[in-house]
Chains A and B, each alone.
Chain A
Amino acid sequence: MNETSPHAQISPTPRPDGEREKLLEIWATPKGWRLPTAVNNTVIGLLYLGAAFVFFVLAGILALVMRTQLAVPDNDLVSQDLYNQLFTVHGTTMMFLFAVPAVEALGVLLLPQMLAARDLPFPRLSAFAVWAYIVGGTVFFSTIFYDLAPRGGWFMYPPMTLTEYSPGDAADFWLLGIGFIEISAIAGAIEIIVGVLRTRPPGMSLDKLPIFGWAMLIFAGMIVVAFPAVILATMLLEIERAFGWPFFSPDGGGDPLLWQHLFWFFGHPEVYIIFLPAAGLVSMIVPTIARAPLVGHNLIVVALIATGFFSFGLWVHHMFTTGIPSLSLAFFSAASMAVAVPSGIQIFSWIATLASRTKKLRLTTPALFVLGMLFIFTLGGLTGVMVAMVPFNWQAHDTYFIVAHLHYVLIGGMVFPLFATFYYWAPMVSSRLLSDTLGKWTFWLMFIGLNVAFLPMHLAGLLGMPRRIWTYPDTLPWDGYNLVSTIGAYMIAAGVLVFIIDLIRNFRIGESSNPNPWDAGTLEFLPQDVYSTRSIPKVDSLYPLWDRPELAEEVEAGAHYLPDAPTGGRETIVTSPISATPQYVVQMPGPGWMHFFAAVFTAACFLLLTVKVVTPAIICGVLAVVCCLVWVWTIDKGPDAGPVEIGGGLRLPVYVTGPMAHGWWAMIVLMLVAGSLYLAYVFSYLYLWTSSPEGWELGAAMLPDAGSPMLSAGLFALAVALYVLARWALPEPGGNNLVTPALVILGACALTGGVVNEVWSHWQAGLRPTDSSYGAMVYMAGVLTAQLVAVIVIMSLFVCVRQMAGKIDQVRCAGLENTSLLVYYTFAQALVGLLIVHGIPHVAAS
C-alpha cells in the first residue's frame, strides 16, 4: 500500500527499504539447539501452552486408570497405595501444572498480539517462568513412576501429611515442587500486570481494553494475593516436617485447620483464577460468532472485578464440616451465593450477544465449544450454589457429588473455552487452520463424554459414595453409575485423541495467508510476524478492525507508530496506565542462555533440597543467583540511545526511572506479593493465638526487654536513611565515587543486624521454635524478614558492582531505586512484625 488516509498517516509511507528486514533480523527466533535462548512471546507462549497440554494429557491418563479401577466393584487393577498416588498427582497436575500454566501461557501468547505490543515488558522473566515450570513439573510428575508421589490428595491436609503419618520424601516433593512452581506463576503474573497496564497501544484507554486483557489483569492480581497464602502454607508444613516447628501439630499448640484456612484462601480463588481468563476468552469469541459487539461490555468488566474479589470470601465453604460457628458459616455461605451474581452477569451477557446477532449463527468448532461451555458451566454453577448452602454441604461434603460439581465447573469453565481457543486463535500462530470436521468430532466426543462421565457421579454421591475410595463392594448401589462414568471418561479421552490427530495433521507454525479467517474485530488478527505487528496502531474503539476495515493494511504498511527499530534493538512503546498516552520506548532484551540456566539451577536447588542433598542444593542455588545477576546485568541499557521518533511527531525517551518506569511497577507488584505473604503470616499468628492462647500467655514471660526490639527498629530505620542518602550521593553521568557503594553496604549491614538482633534476643531469652506454636511463629517472623534481607544484600552488592563499572549514576539509577523500594517495604514489614511479636503476648497475658 502506498497511500493511507490522512487520519492514519502517523508514520509516512512508503517506508524505507530494508526497514522490515531489520525488524526481522532483530526479532529473529533462535532455532535448533539454541531454542532455549528464545524469549519471543509467541515461542514462549507456545512452549508454555504445549507443556501445559502435555501435562493435561498425562493427568488425563491417570484419570483413565482411576476410572478403570472404579468401573466394577472389588476391582484390584491398582493397589490402594498406588490409587492414593494417582488421585494426588492427577489433581495436583491438573490444577498446578495444567490449568494455571495454560491460562498464563495464553496470556503470554495472546496479550502482546491483542495489545499490538512487540512483546511483554519482561520477556526473559516469562522465559524463566516457563523453563522453571517445565523442569519442576516434569520432575514432580515423574514421581508417580518411582513410588515417590505424595498420597495426601491435591490439598495435602495435615495431620496426614506430617512426618508421623507421611514419612519419606513423597510429601516433600509436593511441598517444595508446588511451592517452586507457584513462584514461577507469580513471575508470570508480574509480567502480565505490567504488560496489560503499560504496553497497550496509544489510545487504548482502559475503556477500550479487550475483555481478555481485563480478565488477565484480574487473574494476575488474584495470583498476587492468593498464591502467597499457599506458599506460606507449604513453607510452614515443610519447616514442620524438616525441623519440627509445630505449626500444625496439636501436641505443640499447632492446629491442622490452619492449613485448611491457608490452603483454601488460595484454593477457592484458584477456581476463579482458572475461570476468569477462560471467561475472558469466551467474551472475545462470542462477539465474533455473533458478528455483534459484546452486550454489556462494562458490566462484564465489573463482573470480572467483583468475581475476583468475592472469590476470596468463599474459602471456608470447603470447611463447612470442621466445626466453625454457624454465624461464620453464614458469612461464607452468603459470599458463596453472592459470587453467582457476577458469574450470571457474564452468562446473560453472552446469551444476549448471541441473541443480538443479525445473521444465522455459524456453528464452527469454536462456536460449539463456547455453547458447550455455557451449558456445562451453568450446570456446574447451579450445583455450586447447592453446595454453598450449609445444610446441603454437610450432606454432600467429600462425596462424589463434589467430584461431579468441580469437574463440571472446571471442564466447563476452563477446558471447553481452552479448546475453543485452540481452534479460534490457531491462525495467529499456524499457517493452516485446524480441521473443522475433526474439531466437531472432538467437541461432540468431549461434550457427550463429559456428561456421561460426570452426571452419574452426582447420583453416586447422593447415594453416599465418598471421594477417593480405591474400590467398593458389590453390595452397594454404585456399580452401574461407575461403569457409565468410566465409559464417559474414555469418550472424553477419545475426543482429546482426535484433537491431537488434528494438531499433528494441520498445525504448522508460521504465518497464515489469511490472518483473520473469522472476520474478528480485535488487534490479534492483524497481520503478524516475529516482531508482532509491522507498526503499532492508534486505537480508538473496542473493535478496531470492524470500525476501521483499512486498519490492517495501514498497520502492515508501517503507517502507524514505531514502524522501525530506532534504538537498533528490541523495543516497544510504554503508555500510561489508564489513558494509554505514549510515555517512553522500552528497550527489551533479546535471546540469551541465562534465564534458562537460572531456571534449571533453581529447579535443581529445590529438588535436591527435597531429597535432602543439601550441599549440591546450595551450589545450585548460588549458581541460580549468579545466572540471574548475569541476566539482569544487560537489562538496564541506559538513556544513550534516545530520545527517539516513534511517528506522529512524537519523540520519546528510551530510559525513565521512578513511578513512570515499568521496572518500578514490577517492583511494586513484587512488594504486593511479599505483603500478601506477610498478611497470611499475620493471619496465621492470630489464628494460632486464638486456637491455643496458653502458649501466648506463657510467651509474654519470655519476651526480651523492650530495648531489644527498639534496637532492631532503629537499625531498620537507619538502613532506610542510608539508602535514601545513597540515592542522593550518586555521581553525575560519567562520574564515579565510592560513597554510594559504602552507604549501600552499610544499609544492608544495618538491615542484617536488625534481623539478627531480633532472632538472637528471643534465643537468649530461652525461647525455641520447636517448643510450641508460639515459639515457631515468633521465629517465623524472623525467617520471613530474613529472606527479604538476603535478597536485598544480593541486590545491594549488585548495585555496588554496577556503580564501580560506571553503570549507575544520577540518571541511570533503576537498580538502586528498585533496591531501595524493597528496603522501604522490608522496613515496614519488620516494624509490623516487631509490633506483633512483642505486643500480642502482652495482650494475651492481660
Chain B
Amino acid sequence: MSQSDANDRFVRRTAVSLAPILLWAAHFGLVYGGAHVACATADGAIGEPLADMAVWSVTGLVVLVLVGIGLRARSLLSAGASSGDTNSNDFLVHVVHALTLLSLLGVIWAGAAVNFMPTCATR
C-alpha cells in the first residue's frame, strides 16, 4: 500500500471536498483584486468597463464550475476512496453538496454587485 493510500488519499479528497469554498475564495480574490488593479492603474474609460466585464466573466465561469463540482461530487470523491470507507465518503459528498450551495450564494451575491454599483467611484 502506498503512503497516499495509507493516508486515505487525504490531499485529493480534501481538495475535492473543499473545492467549492476554495472557488468562492478564488472568485472573491479575483474580482476584488482585479477591480482594485483596474481602478488603480488603468484609465477610467478603459478600466471600468474592463473591470465590469472581468467580474461578469469570472462570476459566470465560477458558477458553472461550481455546478459541475456539485453534480460530480460523488464520482470525484469515490475515485480516491477505499471500498470499506463508505461512511466517510457519504459524509464528504454531503459536505461538497452543502458547500456548493453556500459557495454559489456567496459568488452570485458578490458578482451581482457589478450590476448595481459604480466600479471605481468611491461614493
Which positions in A face B, CB cutoff 8 Å? 197, 205-208, 298-299, 301-302, 305-306, 309-310, 312-313, 323-335, 337-338, 341-342, 576-579, 581, 583, 658-660, 686, 690-691, 693
Contact = CB atoms under 8 A, between A and B. Distances in A.
B87 interface: yes
Contacts of A578: 8, 10, 13, 85, 88
Contacts of B31: 331
B7 A576 contact: yes
A206 B91 contact: yes
B94 to A, nearest CB: 5
Contact of B99 (A207, A305, A330, A337): A305
Interface string B101-123: 01101100110111011111111
6 contacts: A309-B25, A337-B109, A338-B102, A578-B85, A579-B88, A660-B3
A658 B1 CA distance: 14
Interface residues of B, number: 52
Nearest to B82: A579
A299 B99 CA distance: 9
Contacts of B88: 205-207, 578-579
Interface string B31-75: 110011101110000000001000100000000000000000000
B31 to A, nearest CB: 6
B117 A330 contact: yes
A302 B22 CA distance: 13
A333 B8 CA distance: 39
Contacts of B102: 302, 306, 338, 341-342
B54 to A, nearest CB: 11
A205 B87 contact: yes
B95 interface: yes
Nearest to A575: B8
Contacts of A338: 102, 105-106, 109-110
B85 A330 contact: no
B16 to A, nearest CB: 12
B82 A298 contact: no
Nearest to B10: A577
B98 A205 contact: no
Which secondary structure dominates chain A's binding surface? helix
Given A205-B87, A302-B99, A326-B118, 16 more contacts: A206-B88, A305-B95, A326-B121, A326-B122, A327-B51, A327-B55, A330-B117, A331-B110, A334-B109, A334-B112, A338-B106, A338-B110, A578-B13, A579-B84, A581-B6, A659-B7
A660 B5 CA distance: 10
Contacts of A332: 32
B90 A328 contact: no
Contact of A659 (B4, B41, B87, B99): B4
A305 B13 CA distance: 15
A813 B18 CA distance: 33
Contact of A660 (B7, B35, B109): B7
Nearest to A316: B32
Nearest to B2: A659
Nearest to B33: A686
A332 B33 CA distance: 12
Given A302-B98, A309-B21, A325 B106 contact: no
Which of A327, A328, A337, A341: most chain B Cβ within 10 A? A327
A305 B32 contact: no
Nearest to B102: A306
Contacts of A309: 21-22, 24-25
Nearest to B18: A305
A299 B36 CA distance: 35
Given A306-B21, A327-B113, A327-B119, A298 B35 contact: no
5 A-B pairs closest in CB distance: A330-B113, A207-B91, A578-B8, A690-B40, A302-B98
Contacts of A337: 109
B103 to A, nearest CB: 8
Contact of B90 (A207, A659, A686, A693): A207
Contacts of B99: 302, 305-306
Nearest to B17: A305
Contacts of B51: 327
A686 B40 CA distance: 11
Most chain B CB within a 10 A radius of its CB, from A323, A334, A581, A658: A334
A298 B98 contact: yes
B95 A301 contact: yes
